[in-house]
Chains A and B, each alone.
Chain A
Amino acid sequence: MTLLTGFVDGLLYPLLAPAHVVALIGLGLIAGRNFLAAGAAIIAAFALGLAGGLGAIAWGVGETPASDVLLAGATLCGLIAATGFSVSAWFAAPLALVSGVALGLDSPPESILLREAVAMLIGTACGGIAVLAVIAFSASAIARLWQGIVLRVAGSWIAAIAILVLALRWAA
């Protein structure tokens, strides 16, 4: 594995882990609904949290319940999106921060070589932020479509999926 392939693997990781995709869509939905007022703050807080989580992984933090936290955050984001509320940056930014930390902690690099592992972590950071930004921008573009119904339906689906997965994990 070269540095480049390590970076690309990290870049794609947020799209290959289903829990991450669910969480990113949930967060993107609430960022997109109130894109001008809170979108930048949500993405910035997520980026900060993600950097922190990945940094913690780099420092050797072991297994954490990060995936469950990520899904709990997705549930909350989905419910907010389903209700159609436009949340303020003061409420959404901490949620994004926690989600970012959880996503980072749930993204341990596969390589044991330091340089490749660092490349993967940098790739994961870039990929996670880029995916969230694309989803948020897409959601903002369709936020007014049919009075925001698409976002609300998507929010209810995300919340339902996250609730079911959490139940399955706890039952296992």
Chain B
Amino acid sequence: MKRGNGTIRAIAIALLLSAAGAAPASAHGGGDITGGFVGGFAHPLFGPDHIAAMVAVGLWGAVLGPPAIWLLPIAFPLVMAFGGVLGIAAVPMPRVEVGIAVSAIVLGLMVALAVRAPLAVAVAAVSAFAIFHGHAHGAELPPGADAIAFSAGFVMATGLLHVCGIGLGLATRWPAGRVAVRIAGAAIAGAGVIFLRAALSL
């Protein structure tokens, strides 16, 4: 009986994921490939500062445990979309790149120091940084982009980076894993310092 339920669940997940994937795969809005799903998916992946911060969100969620482990990755895309709207509307936001670099430093330090912040503080901090990331994505959107395919691509890539962070963060179940996660946090914070220097020199 349990095996049957598991099979049904597996099929259900596969159906839902395939339905989600149908949007980008069948995009026919007339946009070119750069502005389509591939372009949107690759957009966060070609920014090491974005990657570092996204993975740090997942890692910090794993360090904090439930409910933060899933609440942070839920809050981030929603607030990032709000930041994206600001970027698309060309609402000026000073020092966006600095904000992104600081996000990597702060989130990396949270992981490295295993800071167990209250849930509201963690969500607020992650949400504040999400606005910077969303603004950058929105402002850098290539002209003529196939809107839905691009948006689906970059939201999914962002979410999958969070999942990567959570996956790595699950290593905190073991003593050696906890050390490894904290080292990863320190590395992200260190990378953030490099990003910050680069952003300030612009």
**Which residues of A pack against B, CB within 8 Å?**
15-19, 21-22, 24-25, 28, 79, 82, 131, 134-135, 137-142, 145-146, 149-150, 152-157, 159-161, 163-165, 167-169, 171
Q: Report the number of A-B residue pairs with Cβ-Cβ less than 8 Å.
A: 126
Among candidates B11, B22, B88, residue contacting A164 with C-beta atoms closer than 8 Å? B88
Return the CB mask of B148-175 against A: 1 if under 8 Å, else 0.
1101100110010000000000000000
Docked Cα-Cα span, A154 to B16, in Å, equals 9
Q: Are A141 and B9 in contact (CB under 8 A)?
A: yes
Q: Which residues of B contact A155 (CB under 8 A)?
A: 74
Q: List 7 A-B contacts (CB under 8 A).
A: A18-B29, A25-B20, A134-B19, A145-B9, A156-B74, A156-B77, A168-B141
The answer to whether B84 and A164 have CB atoms under 8 Å apart is yes
Report whether A21 and B19 are in contact in the complex, using a CB–CB cutoff of 8 Å.
Answer: yes
Residue B201 interfacial (CB < 8 Å):
no
* B77-118 interface bits toward A, Cβ cutoff 8 Å, 1 = contact, 0 = none: 110111011001100000000000000000000000000000
Contact A142 to B152, CB < 8 A, known contacts A15-B26, A167-B89: no
Query: Contacts A25-B20, A138-B15, A163-B84 known; A168 to B77 CB distance under 8 Å?
Result: no
Asked if B74 and A18 make an inter-chain contact with CB atoms under 8 angstroms apart, the answer reads no
How many chain B residues touch A (CB < 8 A): the figure is: 40
Interface residues of B (CB under 8 A from A): 8-9, 11-13, 15-16, 19-20, 22-24, 26-29, 70, 73-75, 77-78, 80-82, 84-85, 88-89, 138, 141, 145, 147-149, 151-152, 155-156, 159
* A82-B148 in contact (CB<8A): no
- In the complex, are the beta carbons of B156 and A157 less than 8 A apart? yes
**Nearest B-chain residue to A16, judged by Cβ:** B26
In the bound complex, do residue A142 and residue B22 qualify as a contact, i.e. CB atoms below 8 Å apart?
no
A164:B19 contact, CB within 8 angstroms = no
| A153-B70 contact given A163-B84, A165-B148, A165-B151, CB 8 Å threshold | yes
Q: How far is the CA of A15 from the CA of B15 in the complex (A)?
A: 13
A136 to chain B, nearest CB (A): 10
Other-chain residue from A131, A140, A163 in contact with B81 (beta carbon distance below 8 A):
A163
**Cα(A142)–Cα(B15), bound, Å:** 11
B residues within 8 A CB of A152?
Answer: 70, 74
Partner of B19, one of A17, A131, A150, A157: A131
Cα–Cα distance between A137 and B16 once the two chains are bound (Å): 9
Cβ-defined contact, B147 with A169, below 8 A: yes
B11 cross-chain contacts in A, Cβ below 8 A: 138, 141
Pair A160/B15 contact, Cβ less than 8 Å: no
Contacting residues, chain A, for B88 (C-beta < 8 A): 164, 167-168, 171
Question: Do A82 and B74 form a contact, CB below 8 Å, given A135-B19, A138-B16?
Answer: yes
Nearest chain B CB to A96 CB, angstrom units: 17
B70 pairs with A142, CB closer than 8 A: no
With A25-B19, A164-B147, A167-B84 as contacts: A16 and B28 at CB distance below 8 Å = yes
Measured in the bound complex, the distance between the Cα atoms of B28 and A160 in whole Å is 20
